[in-house]
Chain A
Amino acid sequence: MAIDDTQAQSETGAYELQRPGRFREFWSYFSENRGAVAGLIVFLSFILIAIFADFIAPYSPTDQFRGNLLQPPFWQDGGSTKFLLGTDAVGRDMLSRLIHGARFSFFIGLIVVSLSLLGGVTIGLVAGFVGGWVEVMIMRLMDVILAFPSLLLALVMVAILGPSLINAMLAIAIVLQPQYVRLTRAAVLAELPKDYVTSARMVGSGTLRLMFITVLPNCLAPIIVQAALSFSTAILDAAALGFLGLGAQPPKPEWGTMLSEAREFILRAWWVVTLPGLAILITVLSINLMGDGLRDALDPKLKRS
């Protein structure tokens, strides 16, 4: 009954009033999940740290304090409040480097997700709408990409393009592409036979309008969830590439690169190894918590009871 009422209302002109309700409905589902809200808060503070890194960080991430090599965090013997989280092997302040590292990870996630989202959704829409041999070719190509373990494919691409952060991001974006293509195509195929699409066709909407304005908004839920999850994959994979020496290059304070530089001090100075990884874990965890909440709130079918 309740559903019928809402539909009747929206058809009789009360539609404008319904719009804020949708967000509120989403939020009420989302906020039910405490983990998701915690994840959102951590993620928002991560973004703020990334944006205002220059103001928050006590020192420059590349300044070397030659008198304070491998100084432990302030609560340990030999530490001082001058360097709250200690210094690394060439005397750079760990806290400042971690804060600037947030900027790299955020930047990586943002660029990779935007690239793979734009590319993947467009290709998926084309595959779904055009059909025929175009669709077959696209889907086979995606199968080809999926046949490689993603990190290995990214590694090889970076090896060909040359190790740098930009190339690492490009490679990860390409590797993440197929999931968007598959999701979008599946959603489009599910939407196409519906009445509203037919009626939009009848009133003469062009294919582009049908693709991006009529159908796409109704396919967004799984794509948004995927975007959240691939944000964390992007951060993890970029850090892994950095760790293998094929991502961001030293002295850039990227977390994975920091870890790889710190490896030799593993048994002497726990903080240079532990802290960058902890930063990666917390960031990725917060995004995954948020992604779970998003999925539950946006996709009632998958809702965990």
Chain B
Amino acid sequence: MIQFVLKRLGTTIPTFIGVSIITFLFIRLIPGDPILLMAGERGMSDERHAKLLAQFGYDQPLWQQYWDYLSGMLRGDLGISFRTKRPVWDEFFALFPATLELSLCAIIFAVFIGIPSGIVAAIYRGKWPDQLLMSTALIGYSMPIFWWALLLIIFFSGTLGWTPVSGRISLMYFFPSGTGFMLIDAWQSGQAGAFKSAVQHLILPTVVLGTIPLAVIARQTRSAMLEVLSEDYIRTARAKGLSPFRINGLHALRNALIPVVTVIGLSVGTLLAGAILTETIFSWPGIGKWMVESIRARDYPVVQGGLMLIAAMVMFVNLFVDLLYGLINPKIRKS
């Protein structure tokens, strides 16, 4: 196991360095002077230009800049936003809970509908429940989620008037954010209606962000269940006369869930990509919206730092899932 962990770390560390080089080079690849680009058409005096170049470290040799970037990153310093003049690191972690809350809700939604759907489809293989569920899953899988969001807004916010269109909570409520998770903060504030308002704001973004993971999980659960159901020990269990519920629910599901859990773990990247669109449409103040706004505003330190942190997070979760998978399944460790 230790060997497996070391081997896996041996591929993660070079990848991490590669990611840091790429994110570093991105900004330097932009044709032209980043300070002038940021200033836009206003322009600036030579002194101010030189001062800003020095402030952001762009006057140093490239390797020196990279070294400062890398060592700064390990200290939790990713530079300062052009727009807000606040540290990128602080901005990221101030906004991150919003994205985390939305992503967690989306993945819970996807798991709680996706896994049962996959099980039902596998049990009724080839019959109408299977066909219905799998056709729906394929539609979900093919869905342009930015359009799906607009459709849901038209129906639930426009026609029915049930849910609000943007933000995390109604402007009527104000309370200090303790945990950063709106649901928990609203609950703790004790204000009447605050929690309900937070839930209403959360529903549509959750459904939108959870749609593709839901489809993937349902398809994956179905095929994993089908594979397990054809194993010998399931036949033995049937021969022993165990109830279908025990066979499907206990024997088969437990083993079928291993690949499903991996899929869930590896969907972090998909979720973050989906969060970019979802947060932009619902004005959800998370890192996806923040990245899009920074890209549009050419706030390069934010783009660079945000990209780096997001990639680091994806790598960390993938590493964690792989190690967990190796722990559960000795075959993976050996290969």
A and B from one assembly? yes
Interface residues on B, range: 35 or more
In the complex, are the beta carbons of A266 and B147 less than 8 A apart?
no
In the complex, are the beta carbons of A148 and B142 less than 8 A apart?
no
> Does any Cβ of A come within 8 Å of B263's Cβ?
no
Stretch at the interface among B82-90, B171-179, B291-299: B291-299
> Does any Cβ of B come within 8 Å of A273's Cβ?
yes
Name which residue of chain B comes closest to A157, CB basis: B26
Q: What string of 1s and 0s marks CB contacts (under 8 Å) between B118-157 and chain A?
A: 0000000100000000010011011110111011011000
CA distance A276 to B144 in the complex (A): 10
CA distance A289 to B315 in the complex (A): 31
Q: Please report the total number of A residues contacting B with Cβ < 8 Å.
A: 46
In the complex, are the beta carbons of A240 and B144 less than 8 A apart?
yes
Name which residue of chain B comes closest to A289, CB basis: B138
In the complex, are the beta carbons of B147 and A259 less than 8 A apart?
yes
Interface residues of B in 37-61 (CB under 8 A from A): none
From residue A131, how far is it (CB to closest CB) to chain B in Å?
A: 17
Name which residue of chain B comes closest to A236, CB basis: B144
CA distance A246 to B14 in the complex (A): 31
In the complex, are the beta carbons of A281 and B143 less than 8 A apart?
yes
> Does any Cβ of B come within 8 Å of A274's Cβ?
yes
In the complex, are the beta carbons of B151 and A147 less than 8 A apart?
no
The count of A-to-B residue pairs whose CB atoms sit within 8 angstroms is 127
Name which residue of chain B comes closest to A259, CB basis: B147
Name which residue of chain B comes closest to A243, CB basis: B146
Cβ 8 A contact of B277, one of A143, A144, A244: A244
Which A residues are CB-close (under 8 A) to B72? none
From residue B221, how far is it (CB to closest CB) to chain A in Å?
A: 14
In the complex, are the beta carbons of B310 and A152 less than 8 A apart?
yes
Which A residues are CB-close (under 8 A) to B295? 155-156, 159, 246
Q: A residues within 8 Å of B by Cβ?
A: 35, 140-141, 143-144, 146-153, 155-156, 159-160, 232, 236, 239-240, 243-246, 256, 259, 263, 266-267, 270, 273-274, 276-278, 280-281, 284-285, 287-289, 292, 304-305
**Can you add 20 more A-B contacts, CB < 8 Å, to A148-B269, A151-B276?**
A35-B138, A143-B15, A147-B15, A147-B19, A148-B19, A150-B273, A152-B307, A156-B307, A159-B298, A239-B146, A244-B292, A273-B150, A273-B151, A277-B146, A280-B144, A281-B144, A281-B147, A287-B142, A288-B142, A289-B138
Which 6 interchain pairs have the tightest Cβ spacing? A277-B147, A144-B18, A149-B273, A151-B273, A285-B142, A284-B142
